[in-house]
Structure 1
Amino acid sequence: MGGSVTLKLATSLDGRIATAGGESRWITGPQAREAVHRLRAEHDAVLVGVETALADDPELTVRLEDWSGRQPVRVVLDSRQRLADGCRLVATARDIPTYVVSTTPPEPRLTAAGVRVLQVAALGEDRPDLRDVVARLADEGFGRLFVEGGGQVAGSFLRCGLVDRLEWFRAPIVIGGEGRPGIAALALSALADAPRLRRIEVSQVGDDLWERYERI
């Protein structure tokens, strides 16, 4: 059973998600953030990397005034199960299903809090095999995956050719080369190797630009 992957980026015009010091709230405006919540609501699961989870302590929930539907499952790529005990994702794991994707056996402290640890195959440097991650989540019933970050995670999904759709929100600011990139290095040796997508829609949300792409 396979799954579909949507990657979301919210960046400056030059593709940065934070300053060099890590400041990132809020790059995009309230209308763009509302659109992101509506996109979350269309998916079965929302995924981030552990660095984002540790730095931002996100809820990864749908927060809309008119929303009364189910919440998407939260997924954290966390090979060494570093997710903190007191973070929001762990604290609410019994209310909203929360998965930690690891390459090691489940940590009792996480499972005791209600977190579901999904052990998957490992690639180099003990990173989870993303193809295995997508397949395993689909087997769990979460076939529509919404990937929110950070830069390493975005780069990894693009390198693996797993991104079916890209939702890119660009704010009208420029951060510069010292800022943190929205997409980490792709290790390309030629332009022919670059991931290619087709732009299917462009719209303005508040002061920001929303570009939508799909895989060719």
Structure 2
Amino acid sequence: MMLVGGQSVAEFLSSVLPAPGNSRLEDEFQRPLVTLTFAQSLDGKIAGKEGKQLILSGRESMLMTHWMRTKHDAILVGIGRHIPEDERPSHLPRPVILDANLRLRPDCKLLKNYRERKGRRPWVICDANLTSDGGRKAALEDAGARVIGVPSVDGFIMIPDLLKVLYNFGIKTLMVEGGATIIDSFLAEPARTKPNIIIVTIAPTLIGDNGVGYGKKLSATQIPSLKHIRTEVMGRDVVIVSALE
């Protein structure tokens, strides 16, 4: 197994990820522990033109990400993101798709894999008002999804309500993988609903003007204060771990 600063990947992650059951946020606010993680280029881009998903991480940091997934109950991504199907060393986390307008296709690969018993049942989070939309909701549920309604404002799911709903459904640790809108939404939240840990992989590559960045929608008062936890070189990449102060 790959070593990180003399440790195994599992040991590295255990040293930086908070353990469930030891957080005031869990008990007081009824929410999961949240790990926000993403890979970016040197010029701060996380996706290509029009949000096209890019493979930015190298082999070593990608392996770290695979192991990180196994240490969470669920993975949250946006409607346009793909949850990789590559090697998964052990525990299979629940896929959770943030899809306010129920745009997910019933014939998507994620649902196909579930029907073929190659993955866990996906949960689709939508605007609570759409749970009465018998057509789209029924089509996704017939394809195998579990559709869960959460309040939204101006088409955006409310993060505090989302976290509470997931907690009530048994999700105690949540890994958030983006894209840009989700990253900004979590960073803009009040302290009680911000991520516990932020893990950023920086790849030695440039994307340019066609790339998509993050943080542009955050006001000066929303930018969180971070405490550095650890920095490691993994192959060609640099992985930075921070906690919110």
Q: How big is the shift at 1:101?
A: 0.2
CA offsets per residue over residues 136-189 of structure 1, 9 Å max, x none? 1111111111000101110011111421110100001122343111x243331x
TM-score (norm 1): 0.87
Gaps of 5+ in 1: 53-57
What is the count of residue pairs matched by the alignment? 204
1:1-150, aligned counterparts within 5 Å?
1-20=30-49, 22=51, 24-52=53-81, 58-61=82-85, 63-64=87-88, 67=89, 69-94=90-115, 95=117, 96-103=120-127, 104-105=130-131, 107-123=137-153, 125-150=154-179
Q: How big is the shift at 1:16?
A: 0.3
* Structure 2 partner of 1:55: none
What is the distance in 2 between the residues matched to 1:110 and 1:163? Answer: 29
CA offsets per residue over residues 46-66 of structure 1, 9 Å max, x none? 0101122xxxxx3445724xx
Provide runs of 4+ in structure 1 moved above 6 Å: none
The alignment's C-alpha RMSD in Å is 1.8
* Structure 1 partner of 2:201: 169
Letter in 2 for 1:50: I
Percentage of matched positions with identical amino acids = 28
What is the distance in 2 between the residues matched to 1:151 and 1:175? Answer: 15
TM-score (norm 2): 0.77
Gaps of 5+ in 2: 1-29
Q: How big is the shift at 1:99?
A: 0.4
Q: How big is the shift at 1:121?
A: 1.0
Q: How big is the shift at 1:23?
A: 5.1
What is the distance in 1 between the residues matched to 2:152 and 2:51? Answer: 28
Shift of the 148–214 alpha-carbon distance from structure 1 to 2, 3 Å rule, reads same
Q: Is the 8 A contact 2:46 2:54 kept in 1?
A: no
What is the distance in 1 between the residues matched to 2:72 and 2:47? Answer: 25
* Structure 1 partner of 2:225: 196
Name the one with the larger helix percent. 2
What is the distance in 1 between the residues matched to 2:145 and 2:86? Answer: 19
